[in-house]
Structures are given as C-alpha cells and as structure tokens.
Chains A and B, each alone.
Chain A
Amino acid sequence: MLEGVRVNRRFGGLKAVTDFDFRVEKGQIVGLIGPNGSGKTTLFNVITGFHPADSGKILLNGNEITRCKPYDIAKMGLARTFQIVRPLLGLSVLDNVTTAVLYGRENIGSMAKGREKALDLLKFVRLDSKKDVPAQRLVASERKRLELARALAIKPELLLLDETFSGLNDTEVTDAIKLIFRIRDELSVTIFLIEHVMKAVMGTCEKIFVMQYGVKLAEGKPEEVSRNPAVIEAYLGKKKHA
C-alpha cells in the first residue's frame, strides 16, 4: 500500500531522514517510534508532500508520489493528522469536517450533502452532540477526535496519525485505541502512526519501525522490537561498565 525506498531529506546541514526504507501493507496498523527529534514527523511530512524528499522514492498503491503536492496526495487517498492538533478554530465542528468532505476524494458540490456526510463522521467519532460548537471551545480529547473525523472525511485508504494519543489520560487512551481499531475495521483504512504512548503502540501495532537520528534502527513485531538491545540503548542509554 505505502512503500518508501531509500528516502532522504535534509534541512541545510542536518540530515533529518537518511536512507529510510519502509513498507505498510493494506489493512495493517503500523507504528513509527523513536526518541524526540529522531525525524518521525519529518518522515510524515516527506510522505505527505509538505517537505518533499531530496532523493528516494515513495509509492502509494504502486503510484509514485515523491514529488506530488500535498493536496494531490490527499486526493490519492492519503490522509494525515498533525502532531499539535490544528482544528480550524474559527469554524464550527461540523464545518471543519464538511469542508474536508467537499474537497476530499468524493468531491461533493452540494453543501447540504457535504454536511450530511460530515455529520455521519461526527457520529462515528462521537462528536455529533458538539456539531455547532466552535472548534476552539473543544477540549484536547475532543479536538483529537475532530482531527480524526476531518482526516477521515476525505475518504482515505491510508491514514497517518502523528501522536494522536499524547496528552490523553488513561481512559481516553483506551477509548482512542478502540477508535483506531474501528477506523481500520469498519472503514477499512490502513493506519501508520507515530506514537510515544507505549500502551497505545503495543496495543495496536502489528509492526513497528524504530527511528533514531533519521536512520532506521529496528523493524519488526512490537515484542521483538522492545527486546532489541539497540532500541533499549536508544531509549535508556548504555549500561555503564565501571
């Protein structure tokens, strides 16, 4: 479904992503973890066309998207959320989702029909009771669900989630995990997520990439990765030999 081959991206002298290979299969939930500043969000920005790769190739369903614009990539079925949620603050919850429905892959011309479909999505993330509330009055967990609904509104096949679980309390994390599975199972959307909350990573992902200094450190099933000495070192540091 999504494949990256030797993807590189640098900012001046800083190599943010180096020769990164990855593969996400249809129907999977795949995780991307790594210490702060390791290049995870940059990789997402590269995939979604916000910071196009300097070299390497990215394929979505076999079509190359390496040099495509963000809006074209969205139209090809790839949705994303942002690490710091970015609801359109001045608009109502419903309008936030409606605009995405109108311009998404269904490309709907009628506002009424767009609103109808947007409302369905708000029901899906259980935000329909707040549909007329301005987005700026939502609390953090609601904003995250709004962000999800808006990403789903373009009818994606693949969804990139950038730290959707951060800042949520324990019960909210459990709810969000359920929601992630519902997105995959009921809407058949493949999911690729960046996450620091281990409960969420271990509870959802069938495959994990570990990134450090822009390089892939490890790849595999969650339990394999969490036993990998290189990964433990990256997170906890080296044992000192006195």
Chain B
Amino acid sequence: MRGKYVYLPLILILLFVFPVVKPPLFFLTLFFSVFMYVGLTESWNLMGGYTGYISLGHIAFFSTGAYTTAVLMNRFGASPFATAILGGLFASIVAALVGYPVLRLKGAYFTISSMLLSVVMQLIFMNWEFVGSSTGLWYKLLPVSIETNRFIFYEVMLGLATVITLLVRWVEKSKFGAGLIAIREDEDVAKTMGINTPRLKIRAFVLGAFLAGVVGGVYGYYMSYVHPEVTFNINTSLLLLLMSFFGGCRTWTGPLLGAVVLSLMNQLIVTFIGAEISRIIYGLLLVIVIIFMPDGVLQYIKGMKKIMD
C-alpha cells in the first residue's frame, strides 16, 4: 500500500501555491467549490461508505454550520473562523439529537428519515424570523479586496478538505473504522464481536456532522448570504452520495476522486454549456457508473488492471 499515492502530496503542494501565480478569480472560485465537495463527500462517507447508512440529510449539518456563521456575524458581528468550529459543534448537537432515534432504523427507512431531517429543518429556517426566514441573511464580507478574499478562502477550504480527508483516511485504517465496516457488512455479526453498534454509529454520525458543519461554517462566511432554499438544497445531499459512489465508497480515495471529477465537470458544464445539459450528462454518467461499475470507478480500474496483467 505504501507509496501508492506518492503523487497526492505533490498535487497538494502545487494547489497550495497555485494562487501565487495570480490566476483568474474564476479558478479560485471553481477550486473552492471542488475542495468544499471533497470535504463534504469525505465526511459523508463515514456513515454512507464505511457504516453503510446512506444519509440524504448531510446538507442539514452543512447548513447548520453555514447558518451558525451567518447568524453570529449578522447579529453579533462575531469574528470569523471561530464561528466555523462553532458551526461544527452545533451540527454535531443536531446529529446527536436526531441520530439517537433515527440510527435505530436501517436501509431505506434510515435514508428517508435523514432526508426528512433536512426537509424539516429547511421549513423551520424558512419560517424562523431570527435567522432571516425566507428572505435569508446578509452580512459583511472581510474588509479586503475581492482578490484577497478569494485567496484566503481558497487556502482555508483547501486546508480543511485536506484535514478532513486525512482524518477519514485515518479512521478507515483504525479500530474505529474496522468496527464501522463490520456494521456495514453485517450488523448482527458485529454485535457478536462485542461491538457496541449504537455507540459506534452515533460517533460516526456526529463526527461526520461536525466536519460538514465546519465546512458549512466556512462556506457561510464565503457566500456572505444564506438562504434556506440555497443552503438546504436537497440536491446537494444527493450529489454527495453520487460523488462517493462514483469514485467508490469503500475507501477514502473513492470520494476524493468522485468529488474532484464530478464537481469539476459539473461546474465546467454549467459555466460553458448550460445547467440543463449538465444535468443530462450527469444523470447519464451516473447510470453508466452504477450499472457497469457498482463498486466505483477506482475499483473498476483496479479490476481492469488485474485482467490486463
């Protein structure tokens, strides 16, 4: 296994120094969203990939983070970045409260309930005056030029995505991860191994929510505007699932690949061709991947290599 991904640190360093060459702002914006999807997909994968609990409510945690930042800045003029961590904490509290009952459900029942979580939260935020209800919340950007602004958020999100990916990778190779994978494979057998399955599931759920909340917290600051229909968009939850499955949800590399490829593709098609076409291509691609590469593109390539050898 060692040395298999030696080129990844190299790419990472290049990405970190990339803004030095003063690229067009478009690239910084584009990459910001790629990094954001990497962070979200990796954090989603703790439950969806390793534990096998497919959640469509991840966006609720992301939005909790975004709103935490928005409210703290708009109402209290709080200083940024600390709010991102707070956003993560709020998101984990939501996850703990919801997870306790909902994680008793399995399969489609869990998926539907998790989806309802984000739908219900969206409704609440739509009607909650304090958080701006259906008009959303505006707040001030950093008092710096737009270039500096983009540059700062580019670096912060890249750092965040890196930390999340490394953390998820660590989980995958740890005892914690082994327990989660056992739950995915057979929850009853996992129990006979002495695995406290409810406790492990809630830990993974809360950790995933925390990470998504932090990402949301940074995003909320970057956007300078939050609105329930934008942040709680259920399509985003769906995208995370698709990205993870596209790359292959059983390893940390799958969601990384899926998030990078699909979010780049999506952004580029939307920018240069059109949103409608993007959806068609996107949908077609996913049908193809799910039918012909059910374990994701990475596993498929590995399998092909084996046949070639």
Contacts and interface: CB of A to CB of B under 8 A. Distances in A.
A111 B193 contact: no
B182 A70 contact: no
A150 interface: yes
A42 to B, nearest CB: 15
Consensus secondary structure, chain B interface: helix
A111 B175 contact: yes
Most buried by A among B182, B184, B186, B194: B194
Contacts of B181: 88, 90-91, 99
B188 A154 contact: no
A77 B166 CA distance: 36
Interface residues of B, number: 21
A103 B186 contact: no
Most buried by B among A48, A88, A91, A108: A88
A141 B90 CA distance: 51
A23 B175 CA distance: 36
B193 A104 contact: yes
B175 A153 contact: no
Given A88-B186, A90-B185, A90-B250, A99 B178 contact: yes
A88 B185 contact: yes
A157 interface: no
A151 interface: yes
A50 B192 CA distance: 10
Interface in A51-106: 69-72, 74-75, 79-80, 82, 86, 88-91, 95, 98-100, 102-105
Contact of A99 (B193, B196, B250): B193
Report the interface size class on chain A.
20 to 34
B248 to A, nearest CB: 12
B250 A71 contact: no
Nearest to B184: A90
B140 interface: no
B235 interface: no
B175 A86 contact: no
Contacts of B106: none
B279 interface: no
A70 B194 CA distance: 7
A102 B175 contact: yes
B119 interface: no
A82 B191 contact: no
Contacts of A90: 181, 184-185, 250
A12 interface: no
B187 to A, nearest CB: 10
A13 interface: no
A71 B196 contact: yes
B195 interface: yes
A48 B184 CA distance: 21
A109 interface: yes
Nearest to B193: A100
Given A109-B175, A111-B175, A74 B182 contact: no
A89 B179 CA distance: 15
Interface of B: 173-175, 178-179, 181-182, 184-186, 188-197, 250
Q: For the complex of A and B, list the 4 residue pairs with the smallest distance between their C-beta atoms, beginning with the closest.
A: A88-B185, A70-B191, A74-B194, A100-B193
Interface of A: 48, 50, 69-72, 74-75, 79-80, 82, 86, 88-91, 95, 98-100, 102-105, 108-109, 111, 114, 150-151, 153-154
Given A71-B193, A99-B182, A151-B192, 13 more contacts: A69-B191, A69-B196, A79-B192, A88-B185, A90-B181, A91-B185, A98-B178, A99-B193, A100-B194, A103-B194, A104-B194, A111-B175, A150-B193
28 contacts: A48-B192, A50-B191, A70-B188, A71-B191, A71-B194, A74-B191, A74-B193, A74-B194, A80-B192, A86-B186, A88-B181, A88-B185, A89-B185, A90-B181, A91-B181, A95-B178, A98-B178, A99-B178, A99-B182, A102-B175, A102-B178, A109-B175, A111-B174, A111-B178, A151-B192, A153-B193, A154-B192, A154-B194
